[in-house]
Structure 1
């Protein structure tokens, strides 16, 4: 017998006719309550109400931001020991689900698996007290994501980021930083573009942290190497001309705890949620969430 489940749909997914049909069909087979939360506060309220009614599984249906919102809600409420989380990838990138082999092309199979599959404990990353499930990316791209005008995004969609990025290319410059991994040696680095991965993919399928594993108790740190660190001193253009851009130009390390201090405010994007600061305390939360691994069938 399957657990009673709560399905939380993001607003964009909720208006898709195929998604609505799939949900109605599976509600005939399984005990599945469906809601479309409008805020993090409402998400927590719905989860609290569902748990009182006997729900033991909460399923997030949407993109990586939805994954982050549901995981954060479960963690903040202190119910991670008694509630499993499922995932139906319905976003644009679906980077977290991609690492498990689910590209979001079969929502019905994904939802069925989220309802019926077995859960396993996975790690979560944390920066300055804020949790992320997939990847925290930093630098130029995170700055563009955080500073693109909301009205322009509403009118133009994804192309708004491209236009903003082009207009601010002059600001693409390294940030001086001190990085300490696992209380060890302090490294002076020129941060350009970096990623801290609990899982592997970001930016719509780029394997930015290929060593990352959600159950190994470590985070994977990767950054665009400063000139001289790797042979050939590559520039940004050459990165995209290579067959394997992720391997040749990255400084990589794995860690459980890190401190990143920058001379100027630095932008980081946690599963789509922006953060800007000059001091970032990073650590891993081993086995903090019980997840039904995404997949088809």
Structure 2
């Protein structure tokens, strides 16, 4: 698994032209790689339902809308990023990524600063990016979502959105330290059957971590402001939704305004953590004296002791310092017109 897999209508061509190793005994059908203008990369482990049986129908939809597609199955997050970077190097028009929020962030990492657009076909467990854009994810109740979203994005124009850097690594949605990163580290990766219990498992794991976690002393610099305090959680958010899409942490966030929000949630016990959760669910955290929002372009979070770290819902190595920076409008993303109008300030459709 993890080899570069292509499906062909014109014959068989050599997948090693992409620089990837293919087992000798494996026969691979491919499009003419010289003619492709997009890459469809999918995470076979994403979500509650395998997407592999649906790949052919997605290709046909994209073909019907004039796209010439190569297909690759990703073996892990780093591979997803490498595949996206290769597509950008070859000047592909777009990378269509099928998977969850982690796959979205990994594909975005390979496209930052390029002219290749990212099109997301959500098929993960939480699918917060899909909630942000107002599209349906591929789940049992929306089995046709992949084809519908492919048709929608096939006609969409790219919009340039902001990307964040955390310790030099790109993220599209969030970078968090503390309680949420502890939960992500406990949960990921998960087997497919465990994803059917995603909500209760996430809640139970978070409650367990809250009962043990006493917070951290942080020194924060956000542009020209300096803050010190004891916090359960610090999260930099580029989008509106958070906590598996259950809350809007930054209700008025724009994807292309050149800044992000750094949210700080104070406290040191289970009761305070529960209060933050219910405040976020109700939108009260925006005015709470226990939560603070720091808009930033550059920021740093430092502690005397190592803290857990997550980016786009994927666990990262812990650290005592997290440096944050916004890369304005550095990623081209295909998104529906209505989403552009709600979430972007600079795209033509958002001004109409």
**CA 1:74/1:17 → structure 2, altered by over 3 Å: closer, same or farther?**
closer
- C-alpha distance in 2, partners of 1:247/1:188? 19
Deviation at 1:32, TM superposition (A): 2.1
Structure-2 residue corresponding to 1:212: 253
Tell me how large the CA RMSD over aligned residues is: 3.1
Deviation at 1:43, TM superposition (A): 3.4
Contact 1:133–1:198 (CA under 8 A) maintained in structure 2: yes
Task: Deviation per CA, 1:154-175: give whole Å up to 9, x if none.
Answer: 7744455555445444422121
- C-alpha distance in 2, partners of 1:93/1:136? 16
- C-alpha distance in 2, partners of 1:47/1:53? 10
- C-alpha distance in 1, partners of 2:210/2:88? 48
Question: 3-state DSSP class of the match of 1:192?
Answer: strand
Q: TM-score, normalised by structure 2?
A: 0.70
Give the alignment partner of residue 333 of structure 2, picking from 286, 291, 297.
291
Task: Deviation per CA, 1:252-275: give whole Å up to 9, x if none.
Answer: 120101111112111121002223
- C-alpha distance in 2, partners of 1:209/1:267? 22
Contact 2:88–2:111 (CA under 8 A) maintained in structure 1: no
**CA 1:160/1:115 → structure 2, altered by over 3 Å: closer, same or farther?**
same
- C-alpha distance in 1, partners of 2:219/2:295? 16
Give the alignment partner of residue 106 of structure 2, picking from 45, 69, 77.
69
Task: Deviation per CA, 1:116-158: give whole Å up to 9, x if none.
Answer: 21001111011110110011222112113214586x8677444
- C-alpha distance in 1, partners of 2:89/2:132? 33
Deviation at 1:41, TM superposition (A): 5.0
Gaps spanning 5+ residues in structure 1: where?
228-233
Gaps spanning 5+ residues in structure 2: where?
1-35, 340-352
- C-alpha distance in 2, partners of 1:197/1:271? 10
Deviation at 1:23, TM superposition (A): 1.2
Deviation at 1:226, TM superposition (A): 4.5
Deviation at 1:216, TM superposition (A): 0.3
What aligned pairs does 1:1-297 form with structure 2 within 5 A after superposition?
A: 4-12=37-45, 15-16=50-51, 19-20=54-55, 22-29=57-64, 30-43=67-80, 46-47=83-84, 50=87, 55-75=92-112, 80-104=113-137, 105=142, 106-148=145-187, 156-157=194-195, 158=198, 161-182=202-223, 184-205=224-245, 206-226=247-267, 235-241=272-278, 243-249=282-288, 250-275=291-316, 276-294=318-336
Question: Number of residues paired by the alignment?
Answer: 283
Contact 1:113–1:296 (CA under 8 A) maintained in structure 2: no
- C-alpha distance in 1, partners of 2:53/2:37? 23
Deviation at 1:24, TM superposition (A): 4.4
